[in-house]
């Protein structure tokens, strides 16, 4: 089901429940819905680790150091100039309310966006290990993940 259709479908009784992400974390109550479980809060409580939300994947033949520097510069620029990306976010966000957009960005764009560090790395390894145990992905050699 396309993401924008989830909350209306639950509200209208077309489905029993839905999993919402991104800005919907702040807006599901606008549809008269209630949360059964906040999976982000569950993950943090169960593991003691931050939520591994995303990653940048690149072909091996690319210059990873240069790519890393470029991405870091972009994120640092966005932190230093929060209004610079506001228009882009508004044009591509599912939720049009500027306050919701700002809350979403503040929650998900953080220090881990610049450097995942040991704690962020442990979160990724933890997620991949759980996924492998569940048979969702092949076993992962965590020592190779940083390369």
Mind telling me the catalytic residues?
Answer: 22
Nearest to 10 by CA among 33, 36, 39, 43: 33
What single string gives the DSSP state of each residue in 20-86?
Answer: --TTHHHHGGGGT---S--HHHHHHHHHSS----------TTS-HHHHHHHHHHHHHHHHH-GGGGH
- The token pair at 12 is 């209208």
């Amino acid at each position: 089901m396309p993401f924008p259709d989830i909350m209306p479908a639950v509200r209208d009784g077309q489905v029993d429940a839905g999993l919402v992400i991104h800005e919907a974390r702040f807006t599901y109550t606008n549809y008269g819905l209630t949360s059964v479980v906040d999976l982000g809060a569950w993950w943090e409580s169960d593991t003691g680790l931050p939520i591994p939300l995303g990653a940048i994947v690149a072909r091996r033949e690319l210059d990873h150091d240069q790519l890393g520097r470029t991405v870091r510069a972009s994120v640092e620029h966005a932190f230093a100039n929060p209004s610079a990306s506001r228009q882009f976010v508004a044009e591509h966000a599912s939720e049009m309310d500027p306050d919701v957009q700002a809350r979403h960005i503040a929650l998900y764009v953080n220090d881990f966006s610049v450097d995942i560090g040991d704690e962020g790395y442990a979160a990724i390894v933890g997620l991949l290990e759980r996924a492998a145990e569940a048979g969702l992905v092949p076993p992962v050699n965590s020592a190779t993940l940083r390369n």
